[in-house]
Structure 1
């Protein structure tokens, strides 16, 4: 039997499947992801949480149209603290998007925990391998 849901938004359905897909990206892909992050951020009144990162990351998000008052920036002295903060931000379920700059994950177990937290809380998560450079290299 085929069901027809005229009110369903195809984009929303596609994003529903992305919740469990914590995505690991390189630092060069951050600029490419900004329109997608902005789109996800503007769908709700929830936080855009940045774990690690830099002032430049926050500035790029604000320049893309994300309100500074909705950006939560969390530091961390080391990779373990940033991994823990990422998991907690996902489990809280108060963010529309969690962006983490972790310089790689410490283990496959951590990656699995982040995927599960993202899926349970229905929060989009992007893990970047390293911070984007502050200035272009010539």
Structure 2
């Protein structure tokens, strides 16, 4: 099933869209940001790089019209590898957007490094974190 977000392509495809780094998002924000992600992904022929994530995230991108051939998916075994891969993807400046699912994110230093890498390369980035568990601890 293919989803289309026609309002996104008109409202957000303008080249005046400012560079933005979203670095404090929950995994639940992914679906609500899809129109913006779609617009950024379809503006150029560059990669859409997904670090971490799962098959559902990839499928949502495909449903939004992003060609599978333009999606670069890096799994990463742990948070350190995903953080490193995110920084490298941003610094390479070969992606229109980098979507990173880091899990529990704790280091302000890493957050600052990713923010700076995104700014230096002018690559849009979205960093998603796990929501804290809602279950009681006892």
Unaligned runs of 5+ in 2: 1-12, 132-138
| Other-structure match for 1:39 | 39
**5+ residue gaps, structure 1:** 1-9, 132-138
Secondary structure in 2 matching 1:112 = helix
Secondary structure of the structure 2 residue equivalent to 1:12: coil
The 2-side partners of 1:57 and 1:102 are apart by 14
Deviation, 1:89, is: 0.3
SS of the residue 1:50 aligns to: strand
Counterpart of 2:126? 126
Q: Report the equivalent of 1:60.
A: 60
**Any conservation in 2 of the 1:22–1:118 contact (CA below 8 Å)?**
no
Q: TM-score, normalised by structure 1?
A: 0.81
Displacement of 1:69: 0.5
TM-score (norm 2): 0.81
2:21 matches 1:13: no
SS at match of 1:66: coil
Q: Secondary structure at the match of 2:100?
A: strand
| Residue 14 of structure 1, CA deviation | 3.9
- Runs of 4 or more, structure 1, over 4 Å off, are none
Equivalent pairs, count = 120
Q: d(CA) in 2 for partners of 1:78 and 1:14?
A: 33
Stretch moving more, 24-33 or 101-110: 101-110
Instruction: Tell me how large the CA RMSD over aligned residues is.
Output: 1.9
Higher strand content, 1 or 2: 2
